[in-house]
Amino acid sequence: MTTPKIEDDEEADVDFGLTSHLDDDGKPRIVERHLIVPPELAGLRLDHFVKTQITRLSRTKIQAIIDTQLRRADGFVPKSSTSVAAGEHYIIRREARPEPPCPRTFGLLNEDARMRIIDKPAGLPVHASAKFYFNTLTRVLAERYPDEPEQQLCHRLDRETSGCLVIARDREAAAFLKTAIAGKDKTTKQYLAVVHGQPPWDSEHTLDTPLRLSTAADATRIPTVRVLADPRGLAAVTRVRVERRGAGYALVRCTLVTGRQHQIRVHLAEAGFPIVGDKIYAHGDDAFVEYCEEGLTPELAEQFVLPRHALHAAKITVPHPDGGVVTAEAPLPADMVGLF
């Protein structure tokens, strides 16, 4: 089962979310986070419980949130030292803050009654994070399809990665598609990447360096996000082939055999051909740390070439919940085309 691309006229008017945190009267929206105490955490101090739910926050910040933003669902005003009980419901309410601009839109590639495949733009995060709440794909989907409360994303793409993403429109379809995609059952994912240099892969070549997550013991300055090549790591296999060459760059088609975190990015970098714009694997820790601390300075922009890594989920084939398969292709974005 193959569905032709559906043109979407709404894409001509891109919304970058500069005012997405404001209501119709121009006032900040109220963001709520709900915390339910599980039985195994009953008896903890409230601040210790909140730390288990929002691990990135310091104890001082958590105590400030409890003092100013947190209430129990029945209206009780707790203290940091309050002991929590199983099943208690706490709500954190705060005013929404301005968020980094990003495209709050997407292209529609395939659609039927059970599923959609969309073309996610680079820069749009999939889920909420410390910086993004309203400027996320999950929020944009809810706004665009308000009558579909059961819709679910069936896999993920990094914020900077563009391209094909599968959306289920009901719970049964979501369970089927998530299982199929995770298990590679009749599922194929192909990515296009623009890399530095000229790889010798005019015919298909296999990259199979095992990968693992870095730890504090690796003495890297960015242990929580880096993936390392390691013969003791998990098996990882990517098939690669050069599709186009330019002055200093090459366009490489990458077919995933396994689906490890950052697999394509690490495999290409380990082979000596890092992806253009890859802040973690192309220019060393110093450049990435500087980017995190200073943002995209003119010097870093020149070094990175693109403000995002040049990786695009170009084609996906998945089984359909009702039988058969669906194939979708997302056109190469203009920023990647512009490198040739």
Residue with structure tokens 């059952």? Answer: 185
CA-to-CA distance for 93 and 248, rounded, in angstroms? 50
E-state strands within 96-156:
107-111, 115-120, 152-153
**Strand partners of residue 165:** 118
What is the fold of 30-95?
Answer: 3.10.290
Q: Which residues does the chain have with pLDDT short of 70?
A: 1-14, 219, 222-224
**Strand partners of residue 35:** 90
CA-to-CA distance for 323 and 13, rounded, in angstroms? 36
15 catalytic per annotation: no
Burial status of residue 13 (CB atoms within 10 A of its CB: 0-12, 13-18, 19 or more): exposed
The predicted structure's pLDDT at residue 12: 40
The predicted structure's pLDDT at residue 223: 61
The predicted structure's pLDDT at residue 11: 42
- Helices (H), strands (E): how many in the chain? 8, 15
The predicted structure's pLDDT at residue 219: 67
DSSP 8-state class, residue 275: B
Which tens digit of pLDDT belongs to each residue from 156-209? 999 999 999 999 999 999 999 999 999 888 999 999 999 999 999 999 999 999
> Which one is catalytic: 8, 15, 112, 158?
158
Burial track 195-210 (b if 16+ CB lie within 10 A, e otherwise): bbeebebeeeeebebb
